[in-house]
Every structure is written in structure tokens, then in C-alpha cells.
Amino acid sequence: MATVNPPAIVILGPGALETARRVQHCYDGARVHALQGRVEGDVAFAELGAHLRALYASGTPIVALCAAGIVIRCVAPLLANKGAEPPVLALAEDGSAVVPLLGGLSGVNVMARAIGDALGIAPAITTSGELRFGTCLLNPPAGYALASLDQGKRFVSDLLAGEPTRVEGGAPWLDDVDLPRDAAARHAIRVSPHAWDGTREQLVIHPRSIVAAVGETRGQLAAKVNTALAAQGYAALALAALLAPASAMSDPAWARAADELGVPLRFVRGTDTAPNALLEACGLPTRFEADGVAFAVADAPIDPQMLGQARGKVSVLGLGPGRTDLLAPAARAALDDATDIVGYATYVDMAGPLRANQRRHATDNREELQRARHAFELAGEGRRVVVVSSGDPGVFAMAAAVLEALEASEDARWHAVELEIIPGISAGLATAALAGAPLGHDFCMLSLSDNLKPWAVIEKRLAHAAQADLVMAFYNPISRARPWQLDRALDIVRRYRTPQTRVVLGRDVGRPAQSLRHTTLGALRAEDVDMRTMVIVGSSTTRGFARSDGGEWVYTPRWYREDALPTNASLA
């Protein structure tokens, strides 16, 4: 099968960038992963070994522009389990050699050929079956599954040793393959939904051509399906999908069953939830029924996408302040998996590069509820929607708007959607980390925007927070439409805090234009701040000291005594 995920193209220096970009053009959605501090790519990483192992463990195909030996050493600790092996290739920086290293069964040689074509070089293919037949017989295309890998290997060695073979059943992908064919051969490649009977001379490949439909979950659903298939002599691997009524969408029992069976779960809308009616709604005649499960068997693989719809999903996520290495891996995974990206245009851009088949729904900043509703509309149709915010989605951002839209909706489809909120690193936390630890003691986060709350409420909260000696992180401190509010806010805080109170200003934190300024409450002016600035006003205990590089660390001690420095004992 061709690789499903786009590869990570890993580079260690600027000399590899041009070759990396050429390979990137071959794969929709591929990103260039670049060693931090050495070269700029799409994704930054700090340490090659750890990064390659993380990619490998997550099943991401790897094209590493460095010595083959380095790559092997890096992933070596993970090689014991040969089953789940993404393709790994080493590519010479100058594009003069491409070497498939790992992932023979997940399409590494196909990738090596494609990259070789793009760079105008011959790939260093070393797999004997592949060299002889020009394809890997043990890696059938999407929609087909190999019955037994061990038997498959024996079969291929027999062919390499000179045995001819027949092909039984529909195997269109073998049409152009240079096999030693003989209609009377003892060996046979058999394409069939029927289970392999153990014959050594057969390479059995199952078309995923069977659909199981169940009207209600009772008992061990997956076991029931497998038992019924076995009773009819069919292979479990020939199953293409599990069908269920749309009314069952939120019931986790179905998802578990589909997971156990290793097939997609598809839902059918309509009032008749009898198993054979579910099949009929998808245009499939029932071949047999057993124990409340109806089965259809087609002549060729069935594309599950053509059956009913999937359960849609809305993932509300935070991109962090901007730097890709401050984006949670869970958020990255949701972005990679999404069919639709919804959000303010700047953030949708920040979430990229997206694949051509991922739909962008970039809207204006203020239409938050409308954006949330749009996300549910899309997910109601079975799409996997990501709603992007900067920082954390729950901090003055989309998560609350999404929940507000859902609570107000009576649409059962919206409530059946799978909803997850994935946290991100909020601007306040990112700014604090740059400065040191100004949020090291009790603090509060306040938005100074009076778009959605009366200004009087903001004033009252500011006074209380200032009085309580909380460190304050101001979001939305100022904008063209709200020019005077920051000065008013600072006046209130100045009633309770001295002019010497530490203030940290982070602007475009985690982005290329990042800047950090240290000042005091007395010196702070509204002109120092814009809408891309995070303002952290210290408490009475927030302090600073010189860094060895000439800057300054600002922190708020964990203890609460205005007149004392920590002793070694209290730090222990």
C-alpha cells in the first residue's frame, strides 16, 4: 500500500534545504523538519535522535537528509517490533542518492522510486522481490489485505527460486507486474474474501469486500461478527466496514467494536434500523444474516467512504504562541487528521502548511459564535473539523464559544458529534517563561476588552485583583477601537501598587518578531503596548536580578514575605 501519511523531511543544515523542498513537492502535506538554530524549516526540532524516534514511534514516514548510519543508529532502539514500521529513507543532502532503509511492507521502495524520479537518480533498492518483480507482492494496494505475512515471505522466496505462479481472482494492480506466470502453476496468488486454508503454495490476499451491519449493540459485537464470518468461511480481514444506525453515534460500544475489528464505523440515517435495512440504504443486498448481524459481500473492495457517514468530530485546539515546537503533539495530530480547518485567517495560516485536500474556512475575527456553529454543521456531516485559536483555546478564545453554541443548539446531529478540547500554551505563560517566572505565585488572567463585558465589571475586577496583590496578566490590553481603556486600568492598579512594581511586556512572543521588555508600573505608558502585547503586572513581591547574559530574570517567589529572600533551606 502506498504511504498514507505525508513524510517528515528531516534536515540538519541549510545545505539540505533545497533538496528537502524538492522532495516536499512530491508529497501533499509533507513538512520539512529542521534542526533548531541551524536552519529554518516548517517544524523545528532540538535533538535529532529523540526527534527521529518520536516520528518513527508515531508511524510517520521519514526522509532524513543525512548519513544512513546516523539514521539507523537513531531509530535502532525501536526496531524490535517489525510489525508497525513506517518507511525510513536516507537521502544525500545534494540529492545524489536515496536509500530505502526500513518499511519494506509500508511502501519504502515506492517512496524511493518516487523520490528518485523527482531528483533524476536511481534509487538504491535492495529488496530482492522488489528488484525482480518491480513491486512488493506482500504490500497490496488500499482495499486489499495480505492473509499471512509469514506465508507471503515463503511464497515470494519460492518465486525467487524459480517457481511460476497463477493469479486467481481480481488483482488489477498485478496486471503490469513482471511475474513468472503459468496457468498450470502449482503456486497461486489467490484474491478472495474466503479465509486462507493453509495451503503453502498460495499467497492469499483478501479484498475488503464484506460489510457487516448491526441494528443494536448487544453482547460482544466484534466477536459476533467474527464468529459469523468464520462460520461462512470468510476471512475477518475481508471486512471493509461496520454499519450502524445514526441514532447510535454517541454510543462508545460501536466505536470499540469497530476498533476491535480494525474497520471504519459508518452510520446510516433513517428510521428503519434493521440490519438488512442499513445495508439496503447503502445499496448493498444482504448475503447472509447471523445473530442479529447482516452481511453483504461484493465482488471487489468496497470503499467505506461510500457508505453512510462517519461520526463527525470537532477538535478545538490552541496553536500556542506561534512557534511550532510549542504546539502540543496532540494538537499537531488533530491538525494532520482534520478534513476542515476553521478559524481566524491568521491562525489558519499559522496551522499550516495544510494538505490540498484539507478545506480552509478562514473567517473574520469577530464572528466567533458563527464560526462555532459552522464547525458543528460540518462535523454533523461526518467531517473532522479543527477549530483553531492562538495560545490556549480556553483562554479568551474559541473553546467557550464552541460550548456556548452547542448548549444553545437542539440539533441532535450537533450533540452526536465527538468534541474534544486540546490545550495550548497561552500567551501569558509563554511571556512569563521568557521573562523568568513572574506567575510563580498566585495570579489572574484578565481581558481588558469590553467587547463582551461592561467596562464597569473590568474596573471592579482590576481593583479587587490589585487589592488582593495578585500578579495580573492582561490579554487584549488595547486596540484601535479601545484606545483609553488601558490607561484607566493602570490608574486603578496604581492605587494599590507602587511605581516600582515590575511589569513585563511580551510582544509577538513565539513568533519571528518576538520582543520582551521589562519596565515598571510607574514608567509604563499605553504607547508601549498594542494588541499583540501581553502585559504582566507583578505583585508586591515580584522581583528581578541580573542574568549572566546581560539581561534580567523576573520572578515572583513562591513564598509570601515581602521582606525576605529565600534561604538555601527554603529552596530545598
Q: Which residues bind ligand SAH (CB under 6 A)?
A: 321-322, 389-392, 395-397, 426-427, 431, 475-477, 506-511, 531-534
Q: State the nearest-atom distance from the C-beta of 534 to ligand SAH, in Å.
A: 4
The four Cα atoms 377, 380, 381, 386 give a dihedral, to 10 degrees, of 70
- The CA distance from 477 to 65, in Å, is 45
Query: In terms of CB distance, is 109 or 476 closer to ligand SAH?
Result: 476
Chain residue at closest Cβ approach to ligand SAH: 391
Cis omega before residue 172 (within 30°)? Answer: no
Helix (H) or strand (E) holding 210, with range, is strand 210-214
Query: In terms of CB distance, is 58 or 479 closer to ligand SAH?
Result: 479
Closest of 481, 485, 394 to residue 448, by C-alpha: 485
Q: State the nearest-atom distance from the C-beta of 489 to ligand SAH, in Å.
A: 13
The four Cα atoms 184, 188, 191, 194 give a dihedral, to 10 degrees, of 100
Q: State the nearest-atom distance from the C-beta of 344 to ligand SAH, in Å.
A: 10
- The CA distance from 146 to 183, in Å, is 22
Pairing type for strands 239-245 and 471-475 reads unpaired
The partner residues of 341 in beta bridges, in order of sequence, read: 360, 386
Q: State the nearest-atom distance from the C-beta of 518 to ligand SAH, in Å.
A: 15
The helix/strand count (H/E) of the chain reads as 18, 28
Query: In terms of CB distance, is 390 or 556 closer to ligand SAH?
Result: 390
Query: In terms of CB distance, is 19 or 533 closer to ligand SAH?
Result: 533
Q: State the nearest-atom distance from the C-beta of 43 to ligand SAH, in Å.
A: 18
Cell numbers representing residue 31 in the block? 513538512
Q: What is the 3-state secondary structure (H, E, C) of 296-311?
A: EECCCCCCHHHCCECC
Closest of 262, 235, 125 to residue 169, by C-alpha: 235
Pairing type for strands 502-507 and 515-520 reads antiparallel
Q: Supply the DSSP symbol for 470.
A: -
Contact assessment for residue 240 and residue 208, using Cβ atoms and an 8 Å cutoff: yes
The four Cα atoms 140, 297, 417, 58 give a dihedral, to 10 degrees, of -20
Query: In terms of CB distance, is 32 or 425 closer to ligand SAH?
Result: 425
Q: State the nearest-atom distance from the C-beta of 449 to ligand SAH, in Å.
A: 8
Q: State the nearest-atom distance from the C-beta of 474 to ligand SAH, in Å.
A: 7
Query: In terms of CB distance, is 8 or 504 closer to ligand SAH?
Result: 504
Query: In terms of CB distance, is 380 or 423 closer to ligand SAH?
Result: 423
Query: In terms of CB distance, is 32 or 395 closer to ligand SAH?
Result: 395
Query: In terms of CB distance, is 151 or 389 closer to ligand SAH?
Result: 389
- The CA distance from 108 to 419, in Å, is 35
Q: State the nearest-atom distance from the C-beta of 324 to ligand SAH, in Å.
A: 13
Query: In terms of CB distance, is 105 or 342 closer to ligand SAH?
Result: 342
Q: State the nearest-atom distance from the C-beta of 383 to ligand SAH, in Å.
A: 24
Q: State the nearest-atom distance from the C-beta of 418 to ligand SAH, in Å.
A: 23
- The CA distance from 281 to 184, in Å, is 43
Query: In terms of CB distance, is 146 or 317 closer to ligand SAH?
Result: 317
Closest of 563, 572, 320, 561 to residue 441, by C-alpha: 561
Contact assessment for residue 63 and residue 91, using Cβ atoms and an 8 Å cutoff: yes
Q: What is the distance in angstroms between the CA of the first residue and the CA of the last residue of the chain?
A: 56
Q: State the nearest-atom distance from the C-beta of 549 to ligand SAH, in Å.
A: 22
The partner residues of 388 in beta bridges, in order of sequence, read: 317, 343
- Contact residues for 5 (Cβ-Cβ < 8 A; gap 6+): 59, 60, 61, 86, 336
Helix residue ranges, H only, 287-342: 329-337
Q: State the nearest-atom distance from the C-beta of 396 to ligand SAH, in Å.
A: 4
Q: Please give the C-alpha separations between residue 56 and each of 64, 518, 564, in angstroms, as whole numbers.
A: 12, 42, 50
Query: In terms of CB distance, is 381 or 528 closer to ligand SAH?
Result: 528
Q: State the nearest-atom distance from the C-beta of 358 to ligand SAH, in Å.
A: 22
- The CA distance from 161 to 186, in Å, is 14
Query: In terms of CB distance, is 27 or 396 closer to ligand SAH?
Result: 396
